[in-house]
């Protein structure tokens, strides 16, 4: 019997089979979890639905996290199908391309609001809906962040600010939801070739510099992050909440 046998997990933010969220989903499936996924639009549905079908999952919902009514509809359907939820994986982030490549001082107001809304506030909004479905027996929420939340990373700009807000939200949610035995944590993963990362200028150079400087002398993998996701979502991490756990081959520990 797998570690997640009988557990129900909502996974948000799968874009394709290289997504960090998909790596975590596959690991959860191997451990027996029943899963549900969201997609943003028709183009992403054509990618997400076949992945879900590959693991015999038909819990796939349209949900743009900037639309409260769609979040409500997804959780209402999950309540009808499942009754309760054991865990949520939040892997949602977005910033306008110009706001990543231009000087940070030139970040547009609308771009700033969009990045913070999708990348940070969506965690709060999702946690609010998950709370009544977890409150009887507790649960775990895990989100994905990056070192750019703490340090200046070239071409990361407003996304770094959004990730900083996300990490602060993790701490405040952990304090707020701990009384219901709901744990909230973040994984700060090293750079991985994902669809989202493709929008960051000079990302290939970032990968090369990372592998050269990291103590393990390699790039982090989807599997590395998935294993840590399993840990944080499982009872093995029963005493861990409000944390940002680095999975970056030790890169964050290094100086110049």
Q: What is the pLDDT of residues 5-51, one digit of tens each?
A: 999 999 999 999 999 999 999 999 999 999 999 999 999 999 999 99
156 is catalytic: yes
The DSSP symbol for 69 reads H
- Residue pLDDT, tens place only, 51-60: 999 999 999 9
Q: Which of 121, 161, 141, 159 is nearest to 243 (CA)?
A: 141
Q: Count the residues in the chain.
A: 256
Instruction: State the Cα–Cα distance between residues 245 and 236, nearest whole angstrom.
Output: 14
Q: How far apart are CA 132 and CA 140, in angstroms?
A: 13
**Known catalytic residue at 121:** no
Instruction: Quote the pLDDT of residue 210.
Output: 86
Query: pLDDT band at residue 199, thresholds of 50, 70 and 90?
Result: low
What domains are defined for the chain?
A: 8-248 (3.40.50.720)
| Half-sphere exposure for 251 (CA within 13 Å, toward CB) | 26
Helix, strand or coil, per DSSP, at residue 248: coil
Using left for φ > 0, alpha for ψ between -120 and 50, and beta otherwise, residue 118 falls in alpha
Catalytic residue, candidates 39, 94, 156, 246: 156
CB burial string 74-84: b at 16+ within 10 A, e below? bbeebeeeeeb
The pLDDT of residue 1 is above 90: no
């Amino acid at each position: 019997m797998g570690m997640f046998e009988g557990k129900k997990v909502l996974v948000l933010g799968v874009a394709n089979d290289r997504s960090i969220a998909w790596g975590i989903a596959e690991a959860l499936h191997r451990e027996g979890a029943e899963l549900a996924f969201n997609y943003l639009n028709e183009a992403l549905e054509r990618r997400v639905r076949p992945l879900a079908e590959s693991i015999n999952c038909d819990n796939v919902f349209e949900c743009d996290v900037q639309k409260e009514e769609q979040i409500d509809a997804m959780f209402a359907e999950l309540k009808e199908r499942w009754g309760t939820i054991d865990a949520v994986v939040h892997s949602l982030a977005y910033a306008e391309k110009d706001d990543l490549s231009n000087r940070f001082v030139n970040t547009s107001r609308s771009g700033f609001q969009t990045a913070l809304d999708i990348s940070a506030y969506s965690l709060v909004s999702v946690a609010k809906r998950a709370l009544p479905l977890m409150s009887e027996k507790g649960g775990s929420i895990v989100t994905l962040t990056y070192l750019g939340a703490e340090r200046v990373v070239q071409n990361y700009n407003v996304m770094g600010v959004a990730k900083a807000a996300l990490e602060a939200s993790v701490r405040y949610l952990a304090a707020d939801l701990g009384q219901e035995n709901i744990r909230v944590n973040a994984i700060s993963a090293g750079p991985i070739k994902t669809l989202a990362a493709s929008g960051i200028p000079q990302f290939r150079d970032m990968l090369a510099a990372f592998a050269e400087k990291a103590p393990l002398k390699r790039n982090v993998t989807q599997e590395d992050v998935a294993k840590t996701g399993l840990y944080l979502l499982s009872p093995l991490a029963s005493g861990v909440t409000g944390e940002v756990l680095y999975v970056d081959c030790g890169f964050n520990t290094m100086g110049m």
